[in-house]
Amino acid sequence: MIEVGQRLPNATLTMMGPDGVQPVDLASRLKGRRVIIFGLPGAFTPTCSSAHLPSFMRTKPQFDAKGVDEIICLSVNDPHVMRAWGETSGGAAAGITFLADQAAEFTKAIGMEFTAPPAGFFDRSKRYSMFVEDGVVTIFNPEIEKGCAISGGENLLDQI
């Protein structure tokens, strides 16, 4: 599992752009920037939609005031689903970036994958949040129990 002080592995994630699916080189996106990444099991899922994402939508202005350059919501979904979730949830309008880790490559590289066949989840992301400065993890909050008390926006905001 990734730890505080470690550089994030490079990954190519995807997002929907004006001309369709576009690759996002994570290392380039993080270079010289202060970024929050929060990972979650899936777009449109109950806790992700009712608690985790909204916690970052609520706290976005306070993160901006603390000099955070971007808040990224990452899930093992395809970029079409992530765009639809961003639009319907209001997260995109609130300024959250929605990135897809389609094959769970980044999620596996940081040791945050899980599989739960009864729920239909295969190689999904565990719930977490992290504060990354110039590609290095400075705060890491993996969720231990159900819910998002540890990995939610308010907790991370208090830590920065």
- Choosing from 8, 13, 40, 48, the catalytic residue is 48
Helices (H) and strands (E) in the chain, counts: 6, 9
Classify residue 80 as exposed, middle or buried by CB count within 10 Å of its CB (0-12, 13-18, 19+). middle
- H or E, element range at 83: helix 79-89
d(CA 20, CA 158): 37
Site of tokens 């540890």: 150
Residue 7 has what DSSP assignment?
B
What's the Cα-to-Cα distance from 126 to each of 17, 26, 65, 103, 137, rounded to whole Å?
A: 26, 19, 28, 15, 17
Beta bridge partners of 129: 38, 141
**Is 73 designated active site?**
no
Active site members: 48
